[in-house]
Amino acid sequence: MKQTEKFEQAIDFIRKLYGDEPIPLHRPIFCGNEKSYLADCIDSNFVSSAGEQVCEFESKVASFTGARNAVAVVNGTNALQVALLLAGVRAQDEVITQALTFVATCNAISYVGADPVFIDVDKDTLGMSPAFLRNFLESHAVKKEGAVFNKSNGKRIKACLPMHTFGLPCRIQEISDVCHEWGIPLVEDAAESLGSFCGKRHTGTFGLLGAISFNGNKIITTGGGGMLLTDDDQLAKRAKHITTTAKIPHKYEFLHDEVGFNYRLPSLNAALGVAQMEQLHWMLEMKERIAGQYCEFFNSIGWQTVHPLKNCKSNNWLNAIVLGNQKERNAFLEYTNEKNIMTRPIWRLMSELEMFENCQNDGLKNSKWLEERVVNLPSSVPNGFNQLANE
């Protein structure tokens, strides 16, 4: 089958799912109690971070993910930043992460004054490879005085920050095992993976801390917003404290015991989140159905789709295909976007960005291979599926 014929078949299939209008990559769905809960929030006059909706949203996310604690903040990047701080990361430390990620992962590392070290990913998960992580530590790290140091520069390796790409769980249990052996705190970037599980355990709950995003393009949204997950009650208490300007509770005095952050999620956003959480189960069901249709179609024309490991369940946030080479990828991106169907490449590797180009990496062979080939497809819940929300 010729390339243009495959492209045309892909266009026809996507339009059967989404119609003839311009098709975005991932749009939000508001078909539940969003307007009602927003009105209730406005009527209460508690529209900032002090309202009941914030606590209710935290409770719903904690219950769904199985985390003991969930702390709502203004975005996923800030959730990562605070998680790294609570894990003990400080200026001049290093954080092991992956180059195949959205820039927010590395921005959060930079916000605490640390530097990323980039480890390659597994091709089948698009997430950090536990084998490459182990190889790097055995070759480049040393334990000394109860800490782990990079032998090449003497810097302390203070945390490991893998990311669950497009909602696909990485080999997080194996990564956790390596981190435990070396005594390195594990922080999960689960920004894209609300609704994803490894076995019966939700992503973001394997490490000391995890972070979820509720940006406008995520599986559910609060407009902006993020959530920090942890089973450690003391860390959760401290997270709430430092994200609320480190203010000591008092009826009228303004007392602060350290430099804090104004990061707590406002009630208006949380009200959206409460309504969105009520729809999460059916959204996950519909997205699984869409992913299955994509898989069946693209496999039929000889293109590889990306799907979770056997023991894992993905939220199918963004569906992806792996094309034959960079030339074919570029041609498909150009063709689809000219037809008003939004597709996009995977992110530019963090190691190729100017601010991180001098950071240590392990060669990133798989990451470079994937960067040249992966394309994201439109992954919203189609309009016609909305009626199933109330069935």
**Structural domains for the chain:** 3-29+280-390 (3.90.1150.10), 34-277 (3.40.640.10)
How open is the CA angle 303-118-195, to the nearest 5 degrees? Answer: 55
pTM of the model: 0.96
- Check pLDDT > 60 for residue 389: no
Alpha helices in 66-192 (DSSP H): 76-86, 103-111, 130-140, 172-182
- Check pLDDT > 90 for residue 327: yes
- Check pLDDT > 80 for residue 135: yes
The mean pLDDT of 67-74, rounded to a whole number, is 98
State the pLDDT at residue 57.
98
Tens of pLDDT, residues 150-184:
999 999 999 999 999 999 999 999 999 999 999 99
Tens of pLDDT, residues 272-318:
999 999 999 999 999 999 999 999 999 999 999 999 999 999 999 99
Angle subtended by helix axes 172-182 and 130-140, to nearest 10: 20
Please give the residue that has the higher pLDDT: either 388 or 31.
Answer: 31
Q: For 290-327, give one letter per residue: b (16+ CB within 10 A) or e.
A: bbeebbebbeeeebbbbbbeeebbbbbbbbbbbbeeee
Both tokens assigned to 337: 């976007």
- Check pLDDT > 80 for residue 386: no
State the pLDDT at residue 385.
62
CA distances (Å), origin 199, targets 145, 161, 206, 280, 292: 36, 20, 12, 19, 20
